[in-house]
Each structure stands twice: as C-alpha cells, then as structure tokens.
Structure 1
Amino acid sequence: MHSCRAVERDIRVPGDLPQPPAATFGTWNVFAGLVRDATYEEDGSMNPASRLHETQGTPEPPRNPGGSGVVMGDSTRKRYSVSGSQQNQRERHSDDELPIAFVGTYPPQRCGIATFTRDLSDAVISANEKVRATVLAMTDAGSTYEHAERVRFEIRQGVRGDYLRAADFVNYSDTRIVSVQHEYGVFGGKDGAYVLDFLDELRKPSIATLHTVLDRPTASQRLIVQKMSERCECLVVMSHLAIDLLEKSYDISPERTRLIPHGIPDMRADERDLNKAKFGVTGRRVLLTFGLLSPSKGIEVVIRALPKLVAEFPDLIYLVVGATHPEIVRRVGEEYRLSLKREVESLGLRDHVVFRDQFVDNDELRSYLQAADIYLTPYWNEEQITSGTLAYAMGSGAAPVSTPYWYAKELLAEGRGHLFGFGDVDGLCDALRSLVKDPMEMEKSQRSAYAFARQMIWPKVGEDYVDLIQLALREAVVPEAPALLTRSIPELRLDHLVRMTDDTGLLQHAAFSVPDRRFGYCVDDNARGLLAALLAQRVIGLGETRQLITTYLSYLHHSQCEDGDFRNFMDFRRNLDREPGSEDCVGRALWALGLAVELAPDEGHRLLAKRMFDRSMTLPLTFGPRGSALAILGLDTYLRSDRDNKLALETMESLAAGLIRRFDEEADETWRWFEPDLAYKNAVLPLALFTFSKRTGDKTALRVARDSLAFLEEICFTGEHLQLVGNAGWHVRGGVPSIVDEQPIDASAFVLAFGAAYDSTGDLRYMARMRQSFEWFLGANRLGLSLYDFSTAGCHDGLELSGVNENQGAESLVSFLIALLAMLGLASDELGSEQAETDAARTD
C-alpha cells in the first residue's frame, strides 16, 4: 500500500495570516445541517428515485421495462450498454486536461453532501485550470431534478444495478480519477454497501471523503469502510480524531488517510452591521444556530438559558434558521419546532427568539452568518466527527460556543471558542455572559476563530484536493477486472403488484399474468402485500407504495373481528367468509401490523395498525409451529416501536418456548425438526427462533435455530442450488422428499432464514446460502428455469415436475418481492464472497 500522508497539510493557525478587523457574523448552507449532527440522519436515509440516466437538464425518460439504464444526450435518447467500440469512440482528453468524476448527491437536492459535492468540484476547477469535472449524482425517492450540465449520470440509491452501470460509464469515459463523497444515507444497501459494487467495478483510481467516522461501527459498517480503503487510493477525513478512530476501530493505517479540512466560503468579517440591517436586528447582539431542525440540535438548552441573559442584556436575540429535518416531519410533523415555540412563549422570550422555518439560498445564508456575533451548536450527540455548520460559522468570524462533541473539541481547542456541557444550561449562561459582557473577549474569540478558519476556505481546500489527486494518479495501480461477477439481483419493480391490486385489496390468483377475480381476496395475501409495500417504501419511496400500503391495511382492518380474530377470505363482491382465519392467517397479520406500527407512512396508519395489533393480542395465541413463528416475527417488529411492552415480550417468549419444546420432543439424531414431516414454508420456524434469539440473547433458541436450519440445508440443497420439498406429498419422516410443485413461499422463507442466521452469527456461509436461495427464483433450481418473469415483474406459482406453473398469483409474487427486498437490504452479498463460497460446501 502506498502512503498518501506525505503531502498532508497540518491544520493550524498560520502565523502570517492578516488579523481580520473587529466585527461580527454566523452559519452556512442550511442543507449542511445533515453533516452528522443528528441521530435522525441515518433514520432519514435517502431513498432511490428516478432512472439512471445521463442528462443535460432534461426530464427523466420513460421507464425501460428491461431495467437497464438510459443515457440521454441533448435531445437524442439511446439505450446504454458497454462495448469495446464505445471505448474507442469516447471523447479523448488532451494531455493538458484532468477529467475528474465526483460521486455524491448534488444540488438542487437539499442536503449537506450535495452542497459539499458542488463546492468541492468548483474548488478543484478553480485550483487547477486543467481540471474538468463531471458528477454522478445520487438521487432520492420520487423526485425529478433539473441538474446542472455538470451532472452526467443519476444513480438511484436503492437500485443496485445502477452502481455497476455508473462504473461502466466512468470506465469507458476519459475520466482519470473519481472522488466519492461517503456518508451514511447516501448509498443504497445495508449501511450503504452498494458503494462497494461501484468501486469493485471501477477501473479508474479513486479517493473517498469520509463525512462520518463512527467510534463503535457495526461489523458491516467496519467491513465496508475497510473495503473502501482497499479499493481507493486514499481516504480523506476532516479531523485528526477521524484518523485515530480509523486506526482504532477499523484497523486502517494512518498511512492510508489524508487530513483535509471541511471547506468553507471565503467571507469577510467586517460587514456585520450591514448584514444585521438586512434582517432588522440593527443594534442587537445576535446569537445564531442554523441547519435542519431536529431534537438532537439541543435548541431548547439555549432557550432555557436566555431568561437570565436577556434580563441582564436585553438587546440579545437568538435566530434559529432552517427547515425541520424531512424525516422528522415525516414521522412526527412539526412537533419539535412547536414545542420550542411554546417554551419561548412560556418564558416570555417572544422578542428574543426568531425561527426562520425554511431553506435559504447560499447568499442569504452568508448574510445570516455575517450578521451573527455568536454562533451556537448546542448539540446532544458527542460522537459527531464533522460539522459544516461550525466550520462555516468560524469562517464568518462569529464567536463559536458549543457542546463538546468531538469535532467541536478539535476545532475550538487552544482558546478558539467556548465549550459547555451537554444540556448544561448554567454552563451555557456562563459562556455567553463572558462574551457578551466583555467586548474585548468577544473580539478575541471572533478573531481567533476567523484566523484559524482561513486555512479552510475553499480555494485552499481545492488546492489540497488537487495535490492529493495528482499524487494518487502518480501512485495508482489500476485494478484488474474481476474474473466472475455474481451480481444478478433484479431491479425492484412493483408493476405486477399494482396490476394485482384493486381498490379493495390484493387479489389472490392470476390466470397467467392477468388478475383472476373469481377467487377474490384473503388476509394472508394482503398481509404479505402490506409487508412488501412497507419494505419497498424504504427502497423506492412513498410514490409507488403509499396507496398500496393504505389499501392493504384497509383490507386487514375490514377483515378483523371485534375479538381480534380475522375472517380470511372475501369474494369479489366483498362478502366476507364467516369462518375465522387459520393460525397462519392471524400470525401473518400480526407480522404485517407489527411492521406497519414501525414503518407506516403517517401517524394515522401507525395508530390504526397498533390498535389492530393490540386487539389481536387479546386472543389466546396458542398456535401451532407456523402460526407461532409468524406471530414471533410480528411481535419482534412491534417491539421495535414499543420496547417496554411486557405483554408482547412475554407472549413472544411463550411462543418461542413452545417451538423449542416441540423441537426437543420430536427431534433425534437423524430428524432434527419440530414435526414428523416437512411441509410448507419450513424455514420460517428457524427464522423465528433466530429473530427471537437476536432480541433476547436466548442461547437455546439460537442452538435450535441453527440445528433445524442445518437439517433443512441437508435436505434441500444439492450442491449449490436449492431444491425445495414439493407440496404434492411433502416429506414424511423416513420417506423421500417430494419434488413436485416447489413453491416460491418456501424459497422466500429460506432467503429470510439464512439472512437472519447471518445477522445473528456473522457467519459468511449463511450469506452465501441466502444468495443461493434467492437465485432459485432466477433459475438456479432443479430445472434451470426462472420463476421470475422479467417482462411482467411477476413470479410463477411454482416449479412443477417438468416446467413452471404459468400462473402468476399474489402469494408467489409477494414471496419473491419480500425475498428480493431482503437481498437488497443485505450488507453486500459480495463482501467476503470468496470465503463464503468456499465455506458453503462445508458442514458445521
């Protein structure tokens, strides 16, 4: 490994910097509030949106049914594919040019990474006239952007194939190096693992800027960053602490990192009075906080400190600038902002606190910054490794006051600002009082912050990146193409699900690919549909899923009885069957409702789902094995939103104990199973016990889960492909497994079970089996036939003796979708794939 530290520029106060005139100011682009200053950022992960396409500011082309990317250039559209001739035909750069591709979000998207990507690309262009910048922009759910000409590709966050096609586009362009902006919530896959697909396929050198470095990463987070370090020439970080954390928590040598500070605009520090006049606060001392509003910002701490201060300094005014974080709005609306306003009123601070509830453009943001005397970051989260807001404020000449999160402690060391404890109202009062009552102290703090920040202005940061890029190009070793690519996961498409759904619910059956109305609806399928739609909204957003979620939840609501039981079947004329549903029906409904309590798109949906779940909890849940397993999955999802619900946890424990008891009573050395036969969706039983063990730490449940899944693996895998127990005869103890009519619902259960096993144990062999189970849908099966229909986005109803069942009903479709969504959520089925595939043939 080469070193990229040789040209590191230390962050320090230059001795020859001119001292700025005494003045006052405060805050950068409001979108930059996303730079890891709230735990909500990860919950508000950006979802994929419009089609991968090259654009010159033109609208998105129509969807390509085959799922391939579409290139758009000027007014001419054509299919995009990679070929040798394309490489010869590409535009060649001259020796005097330095084409660089930047990967990240990009304006007009409203987030800090988008602003950073634009400002960084501008800065390197300004730093070196040879640079020619292009951007591959990540896109969010349901949005169409009028991007600048610099954006040549859009990558849908949750569509894995887009990352490969984007890499191909770069490979066959004249780009010499790629700069990736890495932040949680930007890239798709679990913990953003899809970025590795892009880097694996890339045949050009790359560097990656890490906007967040975690002190205690999960196993997958750690592995992803390690793999990025292996694939990139260098990792760029913005603080010394980030280098230490990468060495301590990720085992990444400091020689693989480079410190370049967060860039900021070049602002004057002597126009405070002029900018105060713009906002009607002339003659007042201005405190400022800006960024996307969320509870982690700690604004209430400042509000509670103000009564004592304004009694002593009545000219103080506190400006809170920025819209509420979109994820907070989605989950709870403006509850936090309204609570702050109520507190302002109750404390009599109406004349001293002003909320600016909107996004502001760059020019207006600069004006706010340059109007502030003191800038405040009263954040609650200690483990924040960067803060663009604090860097911007220092660059404007405001005196910084902050809680001691990691980045603030580093930036404000050596007297460059004032720190106070998390939630410490009295400590904040003291810090502000020391500045406000002593103009000399205020001026000293402002000068010190401004002088330090001069080395962070974009022209200097742009030069640093150009130096690093040129070093990386000199030392780069272009990776070889992989011998084999196993990435065969289709794009998520809901075409057939929409086709099978009317305003009542999801129809049970199809005649070929056409909905068959004769058989009506059932709770089983609508519960499965609700599960799939809820999971899909995290990948493709609410645009395609909101109405489906509403329809399926409404069907379940209509089918539930007053005692919490369900009437499973309804004919096409909307007549409900009078017979109560099966145990599986109730268990599956609980699973869907539990997930709806957590993930439904608005409070009304979540409250209804919770009421329905609680009503069913009054039933005597004395289920058989599969009903118990499904109910355990529902209780687990429910407990994610109501962790302290003792009834739910006790019920879950009772059902799990029942499964373990059945296993102990039935299993022996040759038949390690819960029943005397293997029937349908067998793998849901170990899935439930893996889930229970993960929540409770129950080692017995983990042992039984592993043992029973290993038994299924012995029966149902021949080599590297899955061969399910057919439902025409099943597999009776001592007999031979049926191979007639293998069912998609069984394959889907295997995908989920192996995924849960991997999640519980970290054993890469389970990851390989999960992938092989999913590939049953795509032709890795007994007949070598694909059950997934790429033309309709439906799934055939089964694998018969010599062919596929031609019908594409709801159960098969939703089973496929749930399995696909599980694969899309996997950390990365390529991580450690060599080891996983080697181990897959072994037995424990």
Structure 2
Amino acid sequence: MRNIKGLAFNILLLANSFEVIPMITLSETLKAEARSLRWPLWKRSKVPPAVTSLNLFMFVKYITDQIVYNAILMKTLLVSTYVPQKCGIATYTRDLIQAVVGYNSNITPHVVAIINGKDSNYPPEVKFKLEKNSRDDYIKLADRVNSSSYAYVCIQHEYGIFGGNDGDYILDFAKKLKKPLITTFHTTLLEPSPNQKHVLKELARLSQSNIVMIKEARARLRSVYNIPSRKIKVIHHGVPDLELEDNTQAKERLGFRADDFLVGTINLISRNKGLEYVIDAVKKVSMDIPKLKFVMVGATHPQVKRAEGESYREFLLKRAFDLNLNGQFKQVNEYVPLNSLVDYLKALDVYITPYTDLDQTSSGTLAYAVGAGKICISTPYIYANEILSDGRGFIVPRRDSDAIAEKLIQTYTNLTERKKMQERAYKFGRKMIWSQVAAKHIQIFKDAKTKT
C-alpha cells in the first residue's frame, strides 16, 4: 500500500508539473499533502502518515478524471474565415492557432472555415466548411459540433463575414450550440444600427466569455451593449517577437538604399484606408525629405475588387503620377505572406495608417508595427488612439495631408525624439507578443472547461 501511495502522489506531481492538473483546483488538504511530497521522483522512501486510504482513492479518482477531461479540453474549434482567404481575420486566426500550439503542443485547434460560394484549398486544420449565405448550414453545423468531442467553440466575429442581415445567421448557430462558447469581437460599434446592436448583444449573451483587444472596446460592450464586466476579457492583438534593430540591412535586402527614408503601409487596399492623403503629404515634404519613399504594400481587398475592380488603386497611381512623385512612390500589388510582411516592416522608418473609418477597434498591421518598435502615424480611430497613447506614436486628424507632412518632417529631423518613441512603442509591444496572447487564450479555454 505504501508503494502504491507513493506512486499515486508522484503521478499527481508529475501531472501538475505539466499543468495537466492545476494545483489550485485541489482541496486545501490535498494541496498540503501534495506540497509535502515534492521530492524527486526517484526518492520514494517515505510517504507522510497523513495520507489515508480515502485520500489515496480521491487522488487516483481525481487524476483519472482530470487526465480524461483535459484530453477532451485540448480539442478546440474556431469559427472564422481562414487562410488562404485574403482577409485580416483569416490571418489573425491562423496566427493565433500557431501561437496556441507553440505554447502548448497538446492543444489541437481545428477550424470551421467560412466560405462564400468559392471553395479553397484549405490546410488540414480546417475540418468543417460553413457556407456564409446558407442559413441551414449554420443549424447543421451546430448539430455536428454538439455530437462531437470538441470541448468549446471560439467564434471570431465581424459582421461582414457571416450571412444574413448584419451577419445574424451566426445567432442560429450560437443558439443551438450546446458547447461552451467564446467570442472575439473584432468590431464594437459606438453607434450601431438596432439590428447590429441586437446581433452583437445576443451573441455576447450566448457566450461564456467575450474577448476584445482594447479597453475602449470593453467599455463599449458595457455601456452600449450592456454586457456584464465579468464576461469581458481584454487580450491584445498578437505580434511577432521581433528585435528592435537598425533597419539599414533590411532596406538593402528589399532593393532600397540605406539612406532612403521609408514611409509605408501594409494592408488590403480599399477607399477607407485614406492613402491619397499620404501621397499628397509626400509631395509636400519632397523638398525637406528628398530621399523619402512611400511604399504601399498590399493587394486590393477581395470584396472591393469584386465591387469596383481596381478603380481605387488606379486613382492612387494617377494621383502620384500627376504630382510627379516619380521614384518617391512604390507599390507592391500583392497579398504578402507573413515573412514578407515582416521584411517590409523591418525596413520602414515610419508606418502609417491614415484610415478614414474612426470606428475601427483593431488593426493587425498597426499592432505589428508597434511590436517592431516603429514610428507610427495614424488617424484617431479607436484602436490607434489607445495603442499609440502615452507618446508611442503620432495621431493626426483624418483627411489631413498637412498634418501628416508635419509629423513626417518632425520624425525625420528629430533623431532623439524618434529613438525615444521607438523604445516606448517597442516596450509596449512586449505585452503583445504571440506567446503572451496564446497563454491568455489558453487560460480562458481552461476557465470555460472549469465552468462547464
């Protein structure tokens, strides 16, 4: 019996060391006994007399239950657009999955990919496909998930990626779902339409936890949508773990000169990006910063391209031509993969997001730029307001090329201020690296399992 007790305790401690059984969930008596047994696994000479047969039974039962339950916990299902779709949320979900698996390789995330008629060659983690505009698909998906071994479901929410009026088909899925639901809201409108408000409020009500990326979004969930604070978690948009380094070599690798002053944006191109105001600003500072180059990286957004073709891009190119920018404007008309995105980001001196939509509550590329310690110039959409506060970047009025030009000159001429701002941004970005974001998501997954 003594050897069996010792073996049981060692199994418990070994499981705890791999976080299979969190000690905090044990009763105080069992925690005290476990603490007294923290000896190396090869030293089995003594077992404290406090260990009773009843406690041994409780230990063994607890170990068995937890190992089985945690094995189920590791099966995670995310509902989202997904790569190779050209969509910011698709990329975010892919990066989140990679970060979660990198943090804990025992977790097995699978994906429900939202499609819109055209199917894609999806990677193996995509186990289900949801036709965006088929209401029956949402109900059938809920039935399939309910009969599966997935422990919980995570929805990445943006009104436009789901079918129905303001994406309300997702409510059919959520209402029928019997698994714990966690929802990440990528948009929280300050002045939603009545139906937009209903969709978000109902989805948040049906969710056990609701994730947003900034404090202002949390405040909106409380004040506009009446979501209880206990159901809201703030987790930053993840960023790669990059070094704060000189960008000379990065410029040369991309074919620029070391002394070029590179201002850039990396995005899916659409009219609400406000890029014409950067082009105008480049012309205004061309005498003050003769080696400035504006680098516009990104394909036209697929939905924009379907609706209006390349008319906005053609408008931008004509504007640059009319202003005689010549070698001061470079476009990279492609959807760049993550490694190329990072290469361009490393090379830039200034990252700019001159968006005209001020209701945007997340921006992956602005997050990446802050994480890389870049000087950032942005219009005051709510994500930028929060991320660039406390001297981490410049905020300028929207549609104001004069203000952009002023900040470009200020950045170019004041090297001391530039370095301090880069350091402040980089320090803040350490809170946003993907490993930390993954750890916080995993804790929410564990909480969802515990409360079920």
Q: Give the shorter-chain TM-score range.
A: 0.7 to 0.9
Confirm whether residue 189 of structure 1 aligns to residue 164 of structure 2: yes
From 275, 295, 314, the counterpart of 2:290: 314
Q: Does the CA contact (< 8 Å) of 2:75 and 2:108 recur in 1?
A: yes
The match for 1:340 among 300, 316, 320 is 316
> How many angstroms does 1:400 deviate by?
0.6
- Is the CA contact (8 Å cut-off) linking 2:288 and 2:409 kept in structure 1? no
Q: Does 1:458 align with 2:434?
A: yes
1:608-628 CA-to-partner distances (Å, cap 9, x unmatched) read xxxxxxxxxxxxxxxxxxxxx
Query: What whole-Å deviation, never above 9, does each CA across 1:745-785 have from its counterpart, x for those lacking one?
Result: xxxxxxxxxxxxxxxxxxxxxxxxxxxxxxxxxxxxxxxxx
Residue 391 of structure 2 corresponds to residue 409 of structure 1: no
Q: CA RMSD in A?
A: 1.4
Q: Following TM superposition, by how much is the alpha carbon of 1:403 offset from its aligned partner in structure 2, in angstroms?
A: 0.8
* Alignment partners' CA distance in 2, 1:328 and 1:189: 19
- Note if 1:328 corresponds to 2:304: yes
Offset from partner CA, 1:547-595 (integer Å, 9 cap, x none): xxxxxxxxxxxxxxxxxxxxxxxxxxxxxxxxxxxxxxxxxxxxxxxxx
Measured after TM superposition, the shift of residue 126 of structure 1 is: 2.0
Contact 1:234 1:258 (C-alpha < 8 Å) held by counterparts: yes
Separation in structure 2 between the aligned mates of residue 146 and residue 464 of structure 1, nearest angstrom = 31
| 2:218 maps to amino acid | I
CA contact (8 A) 1:370 1:397 kept: no
How far off its partner does 1:324 sit?
1.4
- Residue 380 of structure 1 corresponds to 356
**Structural mapping, 1:352-751, within 5 Å:** 352-476=328-452
**Counterpart residue number, 1:177:** 152
Deviations 1:217-264 (A, max 9, x none): 111111111211221101100111111111221122222211011111
User: Among 188, 212, 222, which residue is 1:237 paired with?
Assistant: 212
Give structure 2 stretches of 5+ with no counterpart: 1-66
Question: Which letter maps to 1:473?
Answer: K
1:131 alignment partner, one of 93, 104, 107: 107
Residue type of the alignment partner of 1:238: M
Alignment correspondent of 2:262:
286
Any idea what SS the aligned residue of 2:334 has?
Answer: coil
How far does residue 271 in structure 1 lie from its aligned partner after superposition?
5.5
Deviation at 1:113, TM superposition (A): 1.0
The 8 Å contact of residues 266 and 341 in structure 2, kept in 1 or not, is answered as no
Paired position in structure 1 for 2:84: 108
Give the deviation of 1:330 after TM superposition.
Answer: 2.6
Instruction: Give how far 1:274 is off.
Output: 2.2
**Aligned partners of 2:156, 2:303: CA distance in 1, in Å?**
21
Query: What secondary structure, in the 3-state scheme, does the structure 2 residue paired with 1:152 have?
Result: strand
CA distance in 1, matches of 2:310, 2:149: 47
**Aligned partners of 1:400 and 1:445 also within 8 Å:** no
**Gap change, CA 1:229 and 1:453, over 3 Å in 2:** same
The aligned counterpart of 2:32 is: none
Measure the CA separation in 1 of the matches of 2:304 and 2:445: 38
* Residues 142, 176 of structure 2: 8 Å contact kept: yes
Q: Distance in 2 between matches of 1:305 and 1:425?
A: 5
% of aligned pairs identical?
36
**Normalised by the size of structure 2, how large is the TM-score?**
0.82
**Runs of 5+ consecutive residues of structure 1 not aligned to the other structure:** 1-92, 477-844
Question: Offset of 1:96 from its aligned partner?
Answer: 4.4
Please give the alpha-carbon distance, in whole angstroms, between the structure 2 residues aligned to 1:102 and 1:308. 47
Q: Which amino acid aligns with 1:128?
A: N
Residue number in structure 2 paired with 1:144: 119
TM-score, scaled to structure 1: 0.44
Question: Among 244, 249, 253, which residue is 1:274 paired with?
Answer: 249
Check the 8 A contact 1:286/1:374 in 2, yes or no: yes
| Offset, 1:95 | 4.0
**Is the 1:419–1:431 contact (alpha carbons within 8 Å) kept by the matching residues of 2?**
no
Q: 1:150 is aligned with what amino acid?
A: E
Larger Rg: 1
In structure 1, C-alpha distance between the alignment counterparts of 2:70 and 2:446, rounded to whole Å: 13
1:224 aligns with 2:199: yes
Counterpart-to-counterpart distance in 2, 1:222 and 1:308: 43
Q: Which residue of 1 aligns with 2:131?
A: 156
C-alpha separation in 1, matches of 2:68 and 2:105:
13
Q: What is the aligned partner in structure 2 of residue 520 from structure 1?
A: none
Q: Which runs of 4+ in 1 moved over 3 A?
A: 93-96
CA distance in 2, matches of 1:192, 1:146: 24
Kindly tell me the number of residue pairs found equivalent between the two proteins: 383
Q: Which amino acid aligns with 2:410?
A: S
Question: How far apart in 2 are the matches of 1:457 and 1:190?
Answer: 35
Q: Distance in 2 between matches of 1:436 and 1:373?
A: 9
Tell me whether 1:118 sits opposite 2:91 in the alignment.
no
Describe the superposition over 1:135-157 as per-residue Cα deviations: whole angstroms up to 9, x where unpaired: 1111122x222211111110101
Deviation at 1:427, TM superposition (A): 1.3
Instruction: Determine if contact 1:399/1:442 at 8 Å carries over to the other structure.
Output: yes
Equivalent residue for 2:140, pick from 136, 143, 165: 165
* Offset of residue 441 of structure 1: 1.5
C-alpha separation in 2, matches of 1:295 and 1:172: 44
Q: 1:167 Cα shift?
A: 1.5
Q: Which of 247, 265, 268 is residue 222 of structure 2 equivalent to?
A: 247
Whether the 8 Å CA contact 1:104–1:181 is kept in 2: the answer is: yes
1:243 maps to a residue whose letter is R
The amino acid of 1:105's aligned partner reads T
The residue number in structure 2 matching 1:499 is: none
Question: CA–CA distance in 1 between the matches of 2:305 and 2:412?
Answer: 35
Contact 2:92 2:364 in 1 (8 A): no
2:186 matched to which residue of 1?
Answer: 211
